[in-house]
A and B are shown apart, each in its own frame.
Chain A
Amino acid sequence: MIPKELLKGSIKSIVLKILSEHNRMYGYELTQKVEEVSAGKIKLTFGALYPILHKLENDGDVITESEIVNNRNRIYYKLTKKGNSTAKEKIKELKEYIETIQQLLSNDYGISLSPAIG
């Protein structure tokens, strides 16, 4: 399990990434997908997921569609054009961040290209 504190800043990017690969998704489906892809290491709670989805909707990155499925309303989220570019941007940002962190965590901060001798 990845701790919440580490995950916090990346949820938005993760959600955008997954939405960009699917036509439309609903909340539960999103959490399932994240869990599946991360092999159970990342579990989105609804306390984390829905505020972000609503924020994305409010900013115009996603639009919602309501549909009655199995006798209840299901809200589907879909990326807009603006959302697509936001997704690209956010993913790029996250990648950069991960590379930087990786560099920070590697031996000698990744400065020496060859193993030190002696």
Chain B
Amino acid sequence: MIMESHCPRLSVEEIDFIRKDVKKCGISFSHLEEELIDHLCCLAEEYMQQGYSFNEAYRKVKLFAAFDSLQDIEIQTLLYINKKILAMKTTLKITGIAGLTSILIASVFKVLHWPGAGVLLTLGVITLAFAYIPVLFFSLKKEKLMKRKRNLTIVGIITAFLFLISILFAMQHWPYRVYIIILTWLFMLTFLIMLFNNIIKSEENRILHLSMILFFTILLILDIAIYMVNLNNPKVSYFTLEDNLEESIRLFEHRADAIYAALDTATALETITDRIVDEIKINRERLFNSEEDKIAYTKKLFKNRRVVYELESEAMQLGKDIKQYRDVLLEMASASPDIEAFIKKSIRFNAYDFNNAPPILYNNLNRLIRDIRIAEVELLNVKKKAS
């Protein structure tokens, strides 16, 4: 201790500076990281004793320590102790990256409605849940983190496992998913409380950890709230219904009628437009004849999100017919780029649009009718000018 008394001491900020650099090397084994930080600090203090400023001293330490090799020290240590641990680390890296990548790709596939999303997702989750997490468990056990924070680690690992499984069940609509989700919430809650207790006791980085807990708690509560609202109250999103759409449809219908009356010759546009509008209306009424229909549709949607498969043939037919109608319109509008652009942008419908919540679907169908009417009027005006 005599040696330390006349040694210059690093300030807290300077130690943090060194700590940050060491943390970047990603050393996780046992107390190796703390040790290296202390060692580098000691070396810096030694140089400072010789009269260097902190910056100069630390530059010299870095030359001596070669930061790239800090990670090698960990690998060397693991090799010394047990070759298995090194193999575990490699397995962790590979399974972690593979699992995460396949889940990410699966999500993109899911959003784009491409086939194979389910298989990819299942594979990804299984890799993470049955390869990554068990290996993580044993590797933590070896790293002695388990000794210090045993219960926390175990609950954390079970929570992560359940969380992954619940994602899989929820996205694949497998049975008993509700129970698994609720179980996951319970574990998440337990884990949060334990983490909170742990942080209260420890000294390091309290504010960061507490804000992390806060964030995750809010996330958990939001998740539960959204799920509950969706499950029990399908009416919640009916506020989004746009009543004015009906009015604008009527307005453009009158306009079109007036122009048809003014034109001497009959036109094919009238018949095909009326036919397609009727088809859309039939679909709309069939699904949303009454309030009960809408609620039933919503419930089905929230439980399965597979409504489109139930009305597959009708949905596909409507999508096809609208595409056909659109092509006819585009041909008629080929001379006027403005109208052409409008048609391209507005008159389209995909069978998957049926997977929207009823108010949105209802609005979308109405908007489609309105835009068809607008295109009709515009095309008629062009025709009128020409004749």
Contact = CB atoms under 8 A, between A and B. Distances in A.
Interface of A: 26-28, 46-47, 50-52, 54-55, 57-58, 64, 66, 69-75
Given A70-B10, A72-B15, A52 B36 contact: no
Given A70-B9, A70-B10, A51 B39 contact: no
Contacts of A72: 15, 19, 34, 37-38, 41
Interface in B4-42: 4, 9-10, 12, 15, 19, 29-32, 34-39, 41-42
A66 B80 CA distance: 22
A47 B72 contact: yes
Contacts of A46: 36, 39, 65, 73
B158 to A, nearest CB: 27
Contact of B38 (A28, A51, A54, A55): A28
A52 B43 CA distance: 20
B2 interface: no
A54 B32 contact: yes
Given A28-B38, A28-B39, A28-B42, A54 B15 contact: no
A51 B73 CA distance: 7
Contacts of B324: none
A75 B35 contact: yes
B77 interface: yes
Interface residues of B, number: 29
B35 A27 contact: yes
Nearest to B10: A70
A4 B10 CA distance: 32
Contacts of B31: 64, 66, 73, 75
Contact of A51 (B12, B34, B80): B80
A71 B65 CA distance: 21
DSSP class of B's interface residues: helix, strand, loop or mixed?
A: helix
Contacts of B29: 54
B80 A74 contact: no
Interface string B69-110: 100110011011110000000000000000000000000000
A27 B38 contact: yes
A55 B37 CA distance: 19
Contacts of B34: 66, 72-73, 75
Given A54-B29, A70-B10, 8 more contacts: A28-B42, A47-B69, A52-B80, A69-B4, A71-B15, A72-B19, A74-B38, A75-B31
A27 B35 CA distance: 7
Contacts of B72: 47
Nearest to B77: A51
A50 B32 contact: yes
19 contacts: A28-B38, A28-B43, A46-B36, A46-B73, A47-B72, A50-B32, A50-B36, A51-B79, A52-B80, A54-B77, A54-B80, A54-B81, A70-B9, A70-B15, A70-B41, A72-B37, A74-B38, A75-B34, A75-B35
B38 A75 contact: yes
A17 to B, nearest CB: 19
A70 B16 CA distance: 12
A78 to B, nearest CB: 14
Nearest to A58: B81
Nearest to A77: B35
A86 to B, nearest CB: 15
A70 B32 CA distance: 18
A84 to B, nearest CB: 21
B149 to A, nearest CB: 14
Interface string B300-316: 00000000000000000
B134 to A, nearest CB: 22
Contacts of B43: 28
A42 to B, nearest CB: 16
Contacts of A73: 31, 34, 37-38
Nearest to B70: A46
A72 B10 CA distance: 10
Which 8 residue pairs spanning A and B have beta carbons closest together? A28-B42, A51-B77, A73-B34, A55-B80, A51-B76, A51-B80, A58-B81, A54-B77
A70 B82 CA distance: 33
A43 to B, nearest CB: 10
A47 B38 contact: no
Nearest to A43: B64
Contacts of B76: 47, 51
A26 B31 CA distance: 12
Contacts of A50: 32, 35-36, 73, 77
A61 to B, nearest CB: 12
B77 to A, nearest CB: 4
Nearest to B14: A71
